[in-house]
Amino acid sequence: MESVVSLTAVSRRYPRGVLALRDVSLDVPAGQFVAVMGATGSGKSTLLHCAAGLDRPTSGRVRLAGRDVTRLREAALTRLRRDRVGFVFQSYNLLSELTVRQNVALPARLGGPRARPVDEVLESVGLGGLGRRPVGELSGGQRQRVAVARALVTGPAVIFADEPTGALDPTTGAQILGLLRTAADLDRVSVLMVTHDPVAAAWSDRLVLLRDGAVVADGPTPQAEAIAERLRGVSRVPA
């Protein structure tokens, strides 16, 4: 079975010779929850952006939901992201002047599919009855639930989450991670999450550690304490 997300020998070099990713290969099957960790500047966000088609690698190949995104024109790539990909960011990326319902329905209004009724999705993320509330009136945790609902409404193949709990308290963060865990387990949505938090990473099935743009560890996710120790290990500067 083809992976939902597949990176093959991907490198990304920025101006002035900055090499953010070094020959990274990674395959994420349907329904797997993957956490990506590493020190600041290790390439975590660059990996996520290349995998999601938000940035193009300098070399290598990226396949997303069966399409080679490194060969797609920008218009086709935009449609692929709209129809097959969900995004959850630390900053929510919502339109505060719109209601909860309008934000969740936005992908369909822009031409994307609506695989699930908006009210059903809002109920599933604990926002039933708040559809008419302006997003600007919500708490941070409620806004992140709106973001998760918007990511789920199209029936995506994969959700990319960039520090989704970074601005939330531990209890609310756990609720958001529970929603992503449920999407992977029940809906077979692949989840690729960048995080700095070992407790958040512990919700995943698989842990990928980066150092200097390269994958240095990739395996089943251990407990949070062991994650923290591994993260300290890859963050140390070699003698």
Class for the domain spanning 5-235:
alpha beta
User: What is the side-by-side strand order in the sheet with 214-220?
Assistant: 85-89, 158-162, 190-194, 33-38, 206-211, 214-220
How far is Cα 21 from Cα 230, in angstroms, rounded to an integer? 20
Plot region of 105 (φ>0 → left; ψ -120 to 50 → alpha; else → beta): alpha
Q: How confident is the model at residue 90 (pLDDT cuts 50, 70, 90)?
A: confident
Q: Rg of the Cα trace of the chain? A: 17
Average pLDDT, the chain: 92
The pLDDT of residue 238 is: 54
pLDDT in tens, 167-186: 899 999 999 999 999 999 99
pLDDT higher than threshold 80 for residue 134? yes
How far is Cα 152 from Cα 101, in angstroms, rounded to an integer? 13
The answer to whether 51 and 64 have CB atoms below 8 angstroms apart is: yes
Q: How confident is the model at residue 1 (pLDDT cuts 50, 70, 90)?
A: low
The pLDDT of residue 237 is: 58
The model's pTM is: 0.92
pLDDT higher than threshold 50 for residue 40? yes
The pLDDT of residue 239 is: 46
pLDDT higher than threshold 90 for residue 162? yes
pLDDT in tens, 7-33: 999 999 998 888 999 999 999 999 999
b/e per residue, 90-110, with b = 16+ CB within 10 A? bebebeeebbbbbbbbebeee
